[in-house]
Amino acid sequence: MGIIRREGALSSVVIYLGIVLGFVLSLFVYPKYLATEEIGLIRVLLDLSGIIVPFMLLGVQNTYVKYHPYFKNSPDQLGAFQLLSMLIPGLGAVLGLGVFYILKPFLISTVASNSPLLVEYIDWLPALIFMISGTKLIRAYFRSEFNITISNFYESIFLRLGYITTVLVYFYLDLGVQWLVYLFILTYALVFISMIISYLSRNTVRINSNFKAIDKEKRREVFSYGLFAILNVLSGSMIIKIDSWMISSLAGLGATGIYAIALALGNVIELPRKSITQISVPVISNSWKNGNMANIRDIYHRTSLNQFIASGLIFTLVWLNIQDLFDLIPNGDVFRQGVWVVFFIGLAKIFSSATGINNEILLVSDHYRYSLAIRLLLVVTAIITNLYFIPIYGITGAALATSISILSNNLLLFLFVWVKLKMQPFKVDNLYALIWLSLIFFVAWLVPIEFDYPLINIVMRSALILVMFVFIVMRMRFSEDLKEMVLLSLKKVGIKL
């Protein structure tokens, strides 16, 4: 747990700086300088790219993290494994392009009437897919070496700074919409190139063209897992990304733009989970290889507890300040339509955090194929619920459909890991956390803070919530990991307790 705590803490600093930039980007830059249709265009291009990326990577990003512990102590095997991880996406590039051009007529037909702007720029998807695929592959290399801080810096800070710069250049130079798309792709290209340079500078690349260094049985196992990973990552991407495409098809890019801003607020709640999960996967993969089930159980509980507390705190901060946040947003009356999107997505993200790293444990186990079965079932659920709810409730319906898929996915994974692997993450500490978070929420909700200035309301309400949170964490001692992180954070700003 020491590696997770150290890397999680370092990465959390980067991620929370990224949160600040994300707030600036989503709540001020996008709404002020872009039309809702332009926001929707960028959102759909990014989400559709995310759905096609698995075809290009062919599962390499997951396979590399899972099997790196098996080869890391043999330079010849690791070199062969690294070369395979670079060559396979080359084949995947051909497959990814093929999938795109096969699907292109269908994609155009679904959005032509409600989102004609998207049709004009859909041909730029392959370039975006290539850049996103590259960043995901390099991130897998960093993760396998228990280093997530560098990749998170590029994806949480560098990328968002690039987005902000892109929008400002686009607006103040009065460029055409095509330049908005070009500049976004260029930003991803710069991130990809920077990540390559950073990884190569670590001198950990060991290329070996003798693939026989890896025995035949292990090669077969690796390729088998890779084929599974393609479908598993694809189905996982569809569950959380298909909503934006279906909104653009059924309601238009303007509605997608409003949804994207609300979704950004909701997704902030899950950022602690992403930080912890990224470093947990290589650790539990190594533990599974060594048969250390006790360590996996310990990580399962502690990540569940800490993720739930952090996500619950962020949900409290966001939801109790939601009306004032929309008052601050440029054109806030337009984007206020997404308030219930934040609520439903936020609740789903809390549940996802509370159930811990169930999917990650399943993926490194011998039962990993069941994850795919669960996800394929939920892809169908996501499509059906979006088709049903969007025509009735608009973007709130899309959020409701996505939430149902996320909740169902995590519930099924939790139950499967509990039944098959005899592991579940909950102890009495989790109940204490729920009670204290609920108390903080209701006390802050009941205290009247209603000044004429939204920013003052947000600062005072947030201060009240954070003071209560720090006091409870320090006095109740139900999470020593969180207590240490709070002490470290306070020490960095000159406060000693």
Share of the chain above pLDDT 90, in %: 25
Residue 4 has pLDDT above 50, yes or no: no
pLDDT in tens, 273-297: 776 776 677 778 778 878 888 888 8
Q: Is the pLDDT of residue 86 over 80?
A: yes
Question: Given pLDDT bands bounded at 50, 70 and 90, which one contains residue 161?
Answer: very high
Q: Cα 431–437–443 angle (5° rounding)?
A: 135
Q: Could you report the per-residue pLDDT of 351-372, keeping only the tens digit for each?
A: 988 888 888 888 777 777 787 7
CB-based contacts of 379, cutoff 8 Å, min separation 6: 235, 238, 239, 242
Looking at the chain, how many residues does it have?
Answer: 497
pLDDT above 70 for 7 = no
Residue 473's pLDDT band, with cuts at 50, 70 and 90, is confident
Please give the pLDDT value at position 99. 81
* pLDDT tens-digit map of 36-77: 999 999 998 988 888 888 888 888 887 887 777 777 777 888
- Residues 169-202 have pLDDT tens digits of 999 999 989 999 999 999 999 999 998 888 888 7
State the CB neighbour count (10 A cutoff) for residue 326: 24
| Tokens encoding 275 | 């930080």
Q: Is the per-residue pLDDT at 249 higher than 90?
A: no
What is residue 262's DSSP assignment?
A: H
Across 4-8, 230-234, 325-329, the highest mean pLDDT is recorded for 325-329
Q: Which residue has the higher pLDDT, 441 or 471?
A: 441
Contact 329, 305 (CB under 8 A): no
Q: How high is the pLDDT of residue 227?
A: 79
Question: Does residue 339 carry a pLDDT above 90?
Answer: yes
Residue-level pLDDT at 39: 92
Question: Comparing C-alpha atoms, which of 252, 141, 240, 135 is closest to residue 185?
Answer: 135
Q: What is the DSSP string of 332-377?
A: HHHHGGGHHHHHHHHHHHHHHHHT-SHHHHHHHSTTTHHHHHHHHH
Higher pLDDT, 132 or 212: 132
Whole-prediction pTM: 0.84
The candidate with the shortest Cα–Cα distance to 283, out of 59, 68, 9, 60, is 68
Residue 370 has a CB neighbour count (10 Å cut-off) of: 15
Q: What is the pLDDT of residues 449-469, one digit of tens each?
A: 888 888 999 999 999 998 898
Name the more confident of 225 and 342: 342
Helix orientation angle between 216-250 and 369-393, rounded to the nearest 10 degrees: 0
- 31 has a pLDDT exceeding 80: yes
Task: State mean pLDDT over 408-421.
Answer: 89
Q: Write out the E strands in 36-115.
A: none
Residue 77's alpha-carbon distances to 26, 70, 85, 206, 380, in angstroms, are: 44, 9, 12, 9, 40
Q: Are 279 and 310 in contact (CB under 8 A)?
A: no
Backbone angles phi, psi at 406, to 5 degrees: -65, -45
Helix 177-200, helix 125-144: angle, nearest 10: 30
Mind listing the pLDDT tens digit for each residue in 105-146?
Answer: 888 888 777 888 888 888 888 899 888 888 888 888 887 776
Q: How far apart are CA 207 and CA 82, in angstroms?
A: 6
